Amino acid sequence: MADPAQNPVRQRNLLSVLGLIVIAALFVAVVVLSNQLFRSSQVDLTEDGLYTLSKGTKEVLQGIDEPITLRFYYSSRIAEELPDIGVYAQRVRDMLEEYARIAGGKVRLEIHDPQPFTDEEDLAVAVGLQGVPIDQGGDLVYFGLAGTNSTDQQQIIPFFDQKREAFLEYDLTRLVYNLAHPKKPVAAVISGLPVSGSPYAKSVPGAPDDSWAVWGQLKELFDVRELPMTNAVIPDDANLLLLIHPDKIDDRTRYAIDQFALKGGRVVVLIDPHSEVQASDPQMRRGPSPNIVAASNLPKLLKAWGLEMPPGDVIGDAKLARRVQVPTQGPVKTRVAAIDYPLWLALGPEEMSQQDLVTSQLSLLNLASPGHLDPEKGATTTFTPLLWTSAEGGKGDLSLAQQGSTQILEQTNTFKPDGKYTLAARIRGPVKSAFPDGPPKPPMIDQLEKAIANAKEGEDTAKKKAELDAETKKWDAAKAAHIAESKAPLNAIVVADVDFLADGLWVRVQDFFGKKIAAPYADNGNLLVNATENLSGSDALISLRSRGVFQRPFTYIQAIQRKAEQDFRQKEQELVRELNQAEASLKKLQTQVKGDSGVVLSQQQKDEIARFREKAVGLRRELRDVQYKLRKDVEQVTDWVKLINIAAVPVLVAVFALVLALVRRNMRRHANRAA
Amino acid sequence: MGPIATVFRREFAGYFATPVAFIFIIIFLALAGSFTFYLGYFIERGNADLQTFFLFHPWLYLLLIPAVSMRLWAEERKQGTIELFLTLPISITQAVVGKFLAAWAFVGLALALTFPMWITVNVLGEPDNGVIAAGYLGSLLMAGSYLAIGSCLSAVTKNQVIAFVLTITVSFLFTAGGSGVVVGLVQGWAPQAVVSAVQSLSFLNHFQNIAKGVIDLRDAVFFVALIAAWLAANVLVVDLKKAD
């Protein structure tokens, strides 16, 4: 065998092959090393820094006192079967590692890959993680997080749903925050809406939980105590009072709220001149339909706090109107029309205060027939608007709103914009009691007094007198404890809408293998959570809550649609009027003909009927054409967009190539001739 | 940089000497646009971003870039111009880099000509332009990677068709490395570490990360190292085969 060293070609080949192997090894080494070394080196080019840990997260992580353990369960099989989720899992893992790094040893991260039928899988199931079948074999995979603190309290994310990717940081930080602050603040809630679930679901064991998504969010953040609408006693340890649609509240509860606020308590008030949720639910509405009364207000308290919500006004906005589908009963059969309904508002950042932590990071809020708030003259508090309409806001007709969805078209047609309205406000400052005479007289005293006065002769009223004495003493004590002026400035946030809390306006709740997964598409839930959290004193989480719920819609196409829709409505109204007139005339003529013994029609009558029929047919056609044009305007834009992006530049390149070829040919000819 | 610039100029001008380059650009633009609108439902999604536009880039490159790269060295070898080329006062490395940069600039030009998409989303809505810029950067890096592979494999053979097929095959492995099919093939016999390694070599994962708007150093290092490795291999192969 020849020695390769003696054959220069073979030696060169061998060296080259070795060189290739070294290059491959070097490449793999560089990739592996960089994966280890550069875990937190990235430039985030997204407008809102979607992938950069926010200040709030860093504050939470640096403020941890007792160590926290995070166990990240991730079945590596997911990446093999579902590469998309694999990429997401890598992001989750990177983020968790970043958390551990920033927390400086206070967060310990463990990574587990639970294989089927192992102890690790049992552990994952035991902590409450959600196993998901990935193939027909029935093996389960896991992609979740379990965190524990030093007192063995546990918080979990059962399965990282990719739909919540934009909220990943919030979900993780909240989990860490909850573990670092195991004692939740107390929120007292008085609600006229079934936010915590319907009475049926609450009373029947085993009935599905139908609480609203926002309720779940509140319960994660607060120790929630539900209070009745009447005779409510606000617990001493309550950090916050939340009033949702207080429509049947009594004077004693009002007094309790007044005194709570004066003691420096924090209050979130949600009221509404017309709650669509209540009006549309036969279980909830208080009156027969139509003319449903579904309003709530706190005029006495609000007046004392320096603001009011005029009860008869429902606010709409032509510019912020949401598009809804409504069946219209026109002369051209029933059709489903998409119209901009001014009483359903989609507020963008321009309609939210960018200076206030509660609203500055929200991108979209959906409200339904809200009211408006006005500051009182000479108020001692500051009134800071948080949400408002555009300049095209206006008052809608409350009576039409009360009619419900059947009147949407009428509502749309009668709506007249007349300026900006405040829809939510922050109230701060010293206030006086709304009850200058002290606590209201307990009704029990009146009852007892009446009973004693009306007692028949010889009847023993001693027991009643004793009761009256006791009640009077209690009242006297309450009078003595009465606070007439605020001890600490009032801190309240008032929103003139309650419907925004309902799931239908902001979140899709899906059943994911038996677990409820909420995928919000608007910030409604965040508004309430921000408001409650802000008032209960924890600002750190607010800065990162609403990252990334962006809809970046094609605003240009929307504007065209809106314009076309307006034109269509106008034209439709004109044509329908004409058509109705024509049809009425035709009907009249036909009745007349039948009435005139109806056997022979005069030529004139026949001509007249034919003319009306023709007119009616023509008008119907015109109406169809207008309707067709509505879609055509948008189609035209999209056709242009397609043409420009698919064909325009290729055609230009082809023309350029052709011109270049011709120029070259000419140059060659000239060169040949010259030669 | 002198010799590299000279090679670059010669090669780049060479692309436009024949209609093939124009045809490549036209096909690339027409396909990129059509895929975005008809397969990616750009209008129907109604969202002012270029996610659906970038979604198809790996697969477009997989098909088109081997067509650009196949002639880089195979043609020189077939026509015997490689000897002449290498007698010039330039090193093989400079020649390889110059040719690669010219091809990359050419593909970059084709990519730049998709600018109406960027204008479109800005006219139709208010996109996150940082994310779009990252998408273009990621796409360019990925195109460079395909080209580096193609350049090296084009030096392996004199036959352009074989170079084309080889490049598509290897590029497919790098593209689909993160997908279930390839992982399934590997995991039957290889340990988990190898499976993870194969996944981490996939263009798709690294490109998706960048196209989201985050330039992670790891993704950038991956593409740069991949280009450097294939170009280094290209130098070795050219050196090895120059006399064939």
Whole-complex ipTM: 0.88
Tens digit of each residue's pLDDT (9 = 90 or more) over B175-199: 887 666 666 677 677 776 777 777 7
**Smallest Cβ distance to A45: which of B16, B19, B130?**
B130
Nearest CA in chain A to B223: A31
* pLDDT recorded at residue B204: 84
* pLDDT recorded at residue A549: 45
* pLDDT recorded at residue B44: 81
Flag whether residue A645 sits within 8 Å of chain B, measured between CB atoms: yes
* Cβ pair A557:B236 closer than 8 A: no
pLDDT at A1 over 50: no
Flag whether residue B41 sits within 8 Å of chain A, measured between CB atoms: no
Give residues with Cβ within 8 angstroms of A471, minimum separation 6: A442, A444, A445, A448
* Cβ pair A81:B180 closer than 8 A: yes
Q: How many CB atoms lie within 10 A of CB A300?
A: 14
Give residues with Cβ within 8 angstroms of A105, minimum separation 6: A67
CA pseudo-torsion sign B135, B138, B139, B140: positive
Per-residue confidence band for A538, with pLDDT thresholds at 50, 70 and 90: low
Nearest CA in chain A to B23: A654
Mean pLDDT, chain A, integer: 84
Give residues with Cβ within 8 angstroms of B103, minimum separation 6: B11, B68, B69, B72, B147, B151
Q: How many CB atoms lie within 10 A of CB B105?
A: 15
pLDDT at A167 over 80: no
Tens digit of each residue's pLDDT (9 = 90 or more) over B95-120: 999 999 999 999 999 999 999 999 99
Tens digit of each residue's pLDDT (9 = 90 or more) over A188-198: 999 999 999 88
Alpha-carbon span A43 to B217, nearest angstrom: 8
Which of residues A440 and A514 earns the better pLDDT score?
Answer: A440
* pLDDT recorded at residue B214: 84
Tens digit of each residue's pLDDT (9 = 90 or more) over A289-316: 545 578 899 999 999 999 999 988 999 9
Alpha-carbon span A61 to A71, nearest angstrom: 16
- Written as one string, the DSSP assignment of A536-600 is TT--TTHHHHTTT----B-HHHHHHHHHHHHHHHHHHHHHHHHHHHHHHHHHHHHHHHHHTTSSS
Per-residue confidence band for A416, with pLDDT thresholds at 50, 70 and 90: confident
Which of residues A600 and A548 earns the better pLDDT score?
Answer: A600
Alpha-carbon span A181 to A175, nearest angstrom: 10
pLDDT at A105 over 90: no
For A579-606, what is the mean pLDDT?
69
For A352-363, what is the mean pLDDT?
84
Tens digit of each residue's pLDDT (9 = 90 or more) over B14-67: 888 888 889 999 999 999 999 999 988 888 877 788 988 998 999 999 999 999
pLDDT at A139 over 90: no
Nearest CA in chain A to B236: A16
CA distance A33 to chain B (A): 9
**Cα angle A436-A440-A443, degrees, rounded to a multiple of 5:** 165
* pLDDT recorded at residue B152: 94
For A441-457, what is the mean pLDDT?
84
